[in-house]
Structure 1
């Protein structure tokens, strides 16, 4: 009879995951929010307020932006903020499916299992919060394009392990950097700032978990799987980021859509802002071996690097 020798590294990883999950659960108990009561839904919208920091508008820094009145700029940023929020809702629904599949039929007494359900509950509240916020901004539902919705279904059904958690991290990190600017900006509508603050605080825990899971899942993978999943993550990043600014925002803000699209596409200020905001994320992906040459093509196309 051969004795089974415990793997010290596997034991250490399991203990680290348990410790991380327990700390995240404690943090969630100590600092979580209820958007239904902690966001001011009753005060009418002041149409002089922006929906995001103007510098984050896709047209900021362009000739077209210079021609807009302050009222037009504020309306555009409100529509753009709602578009980003709608993309967030779309991806949060994918995220929930990824995590449910990952923890399906696993040990419910495991703190990681309980944290996964806690994160899913957070995402449900965030999606409702974003939806109500978009409605208050006077925006329609900015649903991603049909092929993007189809790709999202593919991702929800097939991504697993490090591909799932690194994709989750990419979406959360990009949105986090934007919202940290918006929540401190007094030009932004107060209720939007509150929404952003809630999301930033609670998503910081989600990002911690996604980073740890990504590192842990990559410990034992071979080079072929690493390169394949690097490509999957980069493709997901491209689709997410390029879906954030729906082209319908310009018409809904009363602008010339074709001119706005041309100037937004060539807007070097916006591209530079995206690249600088993603520096930490790219450093993390590089440290994990997920910035392969094929993957870099997608990140450059999305102006993330």
Structure 2
């Protein structure tokens, strides 16, 4: 865990090349391969959850209390499959943003080399999530068509600090769920391994994104900073709202309307998200991206 702690430590005095060189070296030492590390053909214990029950969007609600133990297990499997699938969606968006940013970069610099390392990592993560979803529930959960179109707009309009702030926020949101479940013996062993791999490798990506945001924010005009803060918060809001798709509740055998209503009022789930987003909010505040307008959006999805 020492490497994870070191990677997540904020050091504003480091330049992007120094950080990138360290991250490339870390990637060489610590990267893992889920395709060989996980036995994808091994049977699943029917008693194991897809995520820690406390991280279910319905945990603590009246609906949760009415479910049988097997229904709870099934629900968490579909919920976490949805989270992984939405993770694939926004990781594909982020890969395009990084590629475009580095298209005519300085190829000899560590910054460029780690950018390609990150893209390679994200490709492997998406395959890993796809395999895990296939094994656990055998279906795909996509964002709504409207959000899919918004994602395409973001792909083509995000630049500089907006790109990397969006990358950071998206990765932090997924990291919150995975850290909460990766050491829980009640969770399927192969899902715990998926979480461990992703948390380890995303810690590098988040460090890189933080340094890119810091560099992009230097000497930024106040109006541009406010726009960047608002744009990033809107993206975060839509990611959180779309993590568990309504179809996941239907596939778990639940009443979709009731499940969504109870999720909206679930104070336990809101508190879990809020308490685990503290460090992200502190960083956004530090770099000037937690404006009053942005705060309102983060509050809407209980990130603050």
Q: Tell whether the structures are fold-level matches, with TM greater than 0.5.
A: yes
Report the Cα distance in structure 2 between the residues aligned to 1:114 and 1:258, rounded to whole angstroms. 47
Gaps of 5+ in 2: 1-11
Partner in structure 2 of residue 89 of structure 1: 88
Partner in structure 2 of residue 46 of structure 1: 45
The answer to whether the 8 A contact 2:51-2:76 is kept is yes
The answer to whether structure 1 residue 251 and structure 2 residue 250 are counterparts is yes
Partner in structure 1 of residue 117 of structure 2: 118
Report the Cα distance in structure 1 between the residues aligned to 2:257 and 2:15, rounded to whole angstroms. 52
Shift of 1:188: 0.3
Mean alpha-carbon deviation: is it higher for 265-274 or for 15-24? 15-24
Query: Relative to structure 1, is the Cα distance of residues 291 and 14 closer, same or farther in structure 2, using a 3 angstrom cutoff?
Result: closer
The answer to whether structure 1 residue 103 and structure 2 residue 124 are counterparts is no
Report the Cα distance in structure 2 between the residues aligned to 1:139 and 1:71, rounded to whole angstroms. 18
Report the Cα distance in structure 1 between the residues aligned to 2:138 and 2:73, rounded to whole angstroms. 13
Partner in structure 2 of residue 157 of structure 1: 156
Partner in structure 1 of residue 7 of structure 2: none
Partner in structure 2 of residue 176 of structure 1: 175
Report the Cα distance in structure 2 between the residues aligned to 1:176 and 1:270, rounded to whole angstroms. 16
The answer to whether structure 1 residue 221 and structure 2 residue 208 are counterparts is no
The answer to whether the 8 A contact 2:284-2:290 is kept is yes
Partner in structure 2 of residue 301 of structure 1: 300
Report the Cα distance in structure 1 between the residues aligned to 2:217 and 2:63, rounded to whole angstroms. 46
Report the Cα distance in structure 1 between the residues aligned to 2:23 and 2:292, rounded to whole angstroms. 35
Report the Cα distance in structure 2 between the residues aligned to 1:212 and 1:167, rounded to whole angstroms. 13
The answer to whether the 8 A contact 1:22-1:111 is kept is yes
Report the Cα distance in structure 2 between the residues aligned to 1:62 and 1:186, rounded to whole angstroms. 23
Q: TM-score, normalised by structure 2?
A: 0.94
Partner in structure 1 of residue 36 of structure 2: 37
Shift of 1:261: 1.3
C-alpha RMSD of matched pairs (Å) = 1.3
Structure ID, larger Rg: 1
Partner in structure 2 of residue 5 of structure 1: none
Mean alpha-carbon deviation: is it higher for 194-203 or for 213-222? 213-222
The answer to whether the 8 A contact 1:166-1:211 is kept is yes
Partner in structure 2 of residue 201 of structure 1: 200
Partner in structure 2 of residue 141 of structure 1: 140
Shift of 1:40: 2.0
Report the Cα distance in structure 2 between the residues aligned to 1:290 and 1:107, rounded to whole angstroms. 28
Q: TM-score, normalised by structure 1?
A: 0.94
The answer to whether the 8 A contact 1:82-1:139 is kept is no
Structure 1 segments (4+ residues) deviating >6 Å: none
> SS in structure 1 opposite 2:32?
coil
Report the Cα distance in structure 2 between the residues aligned to 1:259 and 1:266, rounded to whole angstroms. 11
The answer to whether the 8 A contact 1:79-1:139 is kept is no
Mean alpha-carbon deviation: is it higher for 95-104 or for 253-262? 253-262
Alignment of 1:19-38 (within 5 A): 19-38=18-37
Shift of 1:14: 11
Gaps of 5+ in 1: 1-12
Report the Cα distance in structure 1 between the residues aligned to 2:137 and 2:225, rounded to whole angstroms. 44
The answer to whether the 8 A contact 2:181-2:187 is kept is yes
Shift of 1:15: 7.7
